[in-house]
Amino acid sequence: MSFLETTVGLIILRCDNYLENRGVKGGLLGFPPLQSVVTRITDDDLKQWVEADPNKKAKNKKKADPQEVRYLTLLEMLGGGTVMQSLLDLSIALFSYPEFGAYLTTYFGYSVNLHLAFLLENIEFPTEDEIQKAAEGARTLMYVNKKQSPLQYSELTLDERSYGYLFGSDDMNALLEGATTRFFHAKDGKKLNDVYVNEDILDQAVSFFEKKGRTLQLSGKGGRRFLTKKLACELKKDFLFVNLPEFLSECGRERIDEYIEALIREARFDEAGICFYGISEGFIKGPAEAGSGSLTRDLEMLEYMAFRPVMDAGIPVVMCTDATRQLLSEPDMGEYLLLELPITIGYDERKILWEKFAGFYKLSLDAESFAMRYNLNASEISRLVKGFLERSPGTKEIGDKETALFTKICMQRAEREVAGGVGRIIYPDIRLDDVKLKPENRAVIDDVITSIKKSGVILDEWGLRKSYPYGRSISLLLAGPPGTGKTMTANAISGELGLPLYQVNLSNVVDKYIGETEKNLEKAFAFAEKSDVVLFFDEADALFGTRSEVHDSKDRYANTQVSYLLQRMESYDGVVIMATNIKTNIDSAFMRRIRYALHYENPDEELRRQIWESCLTDKIPHEDIDFDYLASQFKTFTGSVIKTVFLNACACAADRGEKLSMVHLVHALRHELQKSSAVAFTIEALGKYGYCF
């Protein structure tokens, strides 16, 4: 017989002997399966069972009977002692033979409970302390029917996970499979890359647990679970990773104790630690859905229904949180440690990360350029590289095409993380040479692009970041009449940098409800920070306008929006371009914080000629075009108007099947003059080409 079969046979025999000593004869006759297991016990089986040594579990696992080792492990988890051993044996027998439950009910009047275990050890009247201690030990492996009273008569059931463990199964409890994953330090640890940043955080965590610390809170963002896995490898201990929001959603209020007990048992079986993650500010503050039976998410509930039971079980705990506030109330400082990961990492650290990840995945890329381009932490860079390799397997050389794919993946991830788009992404294919600018304006824009490209050098390599703790964004204000090229310039700058343009849609931002505009603006800034884009506010005076005196609540709210924008601009590190028709409409507080400003005017004759000429490409079939006439005759035309007229002229020529000529341009000019003039159109407005009309 196996060790466990012998265990079952012996506890059945003990129950039958107890009954015989009290005058009940032949109790097993009505239960053939139970009688069979008792009669099959041999002297050798009995000798092995009697000689079972609790120290075998640690001394020589390979030579010992696996069932015996696991049995002794469970007995140790229960706290040891003869009463707990009898309780364990009774539970195994009940799980193995359902008939045993009927046998106990027939002759004892109840199934497996603490009272029966005490009786078999000749303790008929245990003290209250003995009962409480035994009940506490029983909960480590068994479900306790708390509705029954008194406590020693509460029905106890060995859970399936414990029974499976006895018979050699290491499968996770089915209750935990949805929200819990297991990290094996010996096997899974080999797949991890080295710690490239935050080594000091890892060293502190390892030292804390080696000195018998119990609970570690890792706050901040970027690499918390990775650091926990590296911690597991350093401690040579497996860890269970629990997605706390999913975990609480699955168990609900009614079964939280059952799920937490199952989690504790799982950790004890594996001799593992537990890492709770997904603890964001939004999760903690978010209300439970009415009628869902889900738990409220206040800190007190989390502490006393989730964290404390695990900590009291002596299991190492890591809590990964977004917030830096302490999650535990009045913790023992010798057993609790809060470590904060940096909110952002500097250019030097990002450069190291890109170098290391490139080496790990055997990619050839410019780490300096990527560190400047992508303001990401370690975990975000890791996910970005993995996403790139999934979409472009086998790629090793990273050029412009591959960098564009990196940027696209980065933005897609940012869009998923920042709910609700408030703008649109544009991939410009124009450059500054395509925009006809005055030389002085072009010089300023060249300075802007230089500042963007060299920001990593001057802030990090030259050490200016400490001197400028805020206000590091590269901001450009474009002011001037409509149609003078402000939006085109923003697109061209984005194209020169090889970055997408994120144009904020004011209709999706401005909201009549208090606080909603700020929330929408935060989405725009958060998306820009998570991705590699140029942030563009067109008609910026709607948001960055001059503050007014407060006469009512509307004025106060409008001024609050401006104040929020001022603060957000100060903390933003990226590139932001703003366009306005009237420069004086911008609040002076913003003007002080804007690094570059350009004023656009209606183009002069020379610039108008350049714009007209730039419209005509080699692919357009055309006759001679009088650019001198076009530039001098229509002095009020802006670049936008010129492009519209030219496009309409091309449509006219294509419709007639003719080459583009002055006839078609005059036709389009007439429509434009009729549209924009407040007085009746006259042929004289067309000058020397009036005859074409």
Say if residue 16's pLDDT is above 80: yes
Pick from 546, 635, 636, 537: nearest CA to 590:
546
Q: Which pLDDT belongs to residue 679?
A: 56
Pairing, β 215-219 against β 317-321: parallel
Round the CA-based radius of gyration of the chain to a whole number and report it. Answer: 38
For the cut 90, the answer to whether the pLDDT of residue 550 exceeds it is no
CB contact set of 36 (below 8 Å; sequence gap of 6+)? none
Q: For residue 168, how many C-alpha atoms fall within 13 Å in the half-sphere facing its CB?
A: 6
326 class by beta-carbon count within 10 Å (0-12 exposed, 13-18 middle, 19+ buried): middle
What confidence score (pLDDT) does residue 510 get? 77
Task: Give the pLDDT of residue 116.
Answer: 94
User: What mean pLDDT is reported for the chain?
Assistant: 83
* Mean pLDDT of the region 670-680: 73
Residue 348 in this model has a pLDDT that exceeds 90: no
- CA triple 322-327-330, angle to 5 deg: 155
Average pLDDT of span 376-389: 86
Alpha-carbon span 674 to 331, nearest angstrom: 79
Residue in 86, 93, 67 with CA at minimum distance from that of residue 134: 86
**pLDDT of the residue at 471:** 64
Measured CA distances, 331 to 214, 300, 649 (Å): 11, 13, 78
Task: State the pLDDT at residue 693.
Answer: 61
pLDDT at 511: 75
Question: Predicted confidence band at 54 (pLDDT cuts at 50, 70, 90)?
Answer: low
Question: Per-residue pLDDT for 188 more than 90?
Answer: yes
- The CA angle 240-245-249, to the nearest 5 degrees, is 105
Half-sphere exposure of 106 (CA within 13 A, CB side): 15
Distance CA 254, CA 65 (A): 40
If one counts every other C-beta atom within 10 angstroms of the C-beta of residue 93, the result is 26
Torsions phi, psi of 163, nearest 5? -65, -45
Residue with the larger pLDDT of the pair 202 and 573: 202
Phi, psi of 71 (to 5 degrees): -60, -45
**Phi and psi angles of residue 325, each rounded to the nearest 5 degrees, phi first:** -75, 150
Query: How high is the pLDDT of residue 305?
Result: 85
- Residue 370 banded pLDDT, cuts 50, 70, 90: confident
- Residue among 238, 239, 71 nearest 158 (CA): 71
Residue 471 neighbours by CB distance under 10 Å: 14
Mean pLDDT of 357-375: 86
Q: What is the arithmetic mean of pLDDT over 375-400?
A: 87
d(CA 22, CA 49): 26
Q: What is the DSSP string of 123-149?
A: -SS--HHHHHHHHHHHTTTEEE-TTSS
Tens digits of per-residue pLDDT, 297-309?
Answer: 567 777 888 888 9
- φ, ψ of residue 57 in degrees (nearest 5): -55, -35
Q: Is 197 helix (H, G, I), strand (E, B) or coil?
A: coil
Q: Is the pLDDT of residue 678 over 70?
A: no
Please write the tens of the pLDDT for every residue from 97-111. Answer: 999 999 999 999 999
Per the CB < 8 A criterion, the answer to whether 322 and 333 are in contact is no
> Is the predicted pLDDT of residue 59 greater than 50, yes or no?
no
**Percent share of the chain, pLDDT over 70:** 89
Banded model confidence at residue 239, pLDDT cuts 50, 70, 90: very high
pLDDT digits (tens, 9 = 90+) for 395-450: 899 988 888 888 888 877 776 665 456 888 888 888 998 888 888 999 999 999 99
In a 13 Å sphere around the CA of 663, the CA atoms on its Cβ side amount to 10
pLDDT-wise least confident of 64-78, 170-184, 504-518, 659-673: 504-518
Phi and psi at 497, nearest 5°, equal -80, -15
Confidence of residue 237 (pLDDT cuts 50, 70, 90): very high
Residue 489 CA to residue 448 CA, distance in Å, equals 12
Instruction: Tell me the H-state helices in 457-573.
Output: 486-497, 506-509, 516-530, 541-544, 553-571
pLDDT of residue 582 exceeding 50: yes
Task: Give the predicted TM-score (pTM) of the model.
Answer: 0.66
The size of the chain, in residues, is 693
Q: What is the pLDDT of residue 470?
A: 65
What does the CA dihedral 47, 50, 55, 56 come to, rounded to 10 degrees?
30
Residue 512 has pLDDT above 80, yes or no: no
Which residue type occupies 111?
A: S
H and E: helices and strands count for the chain:
33, 14
Quote the DSSP letter at residue 510: -
Please give the DSSP secondary-structure letter assigned to residue 358. H
Q: What is the mean pLDDT of residues 275-294?
A: 62
Mean pLDDT score, 519-543: 82
CA distance linking residue 102 with residue 31, whole number of Å: 9
- For residue 520 the two structure tokens come to 């929408």
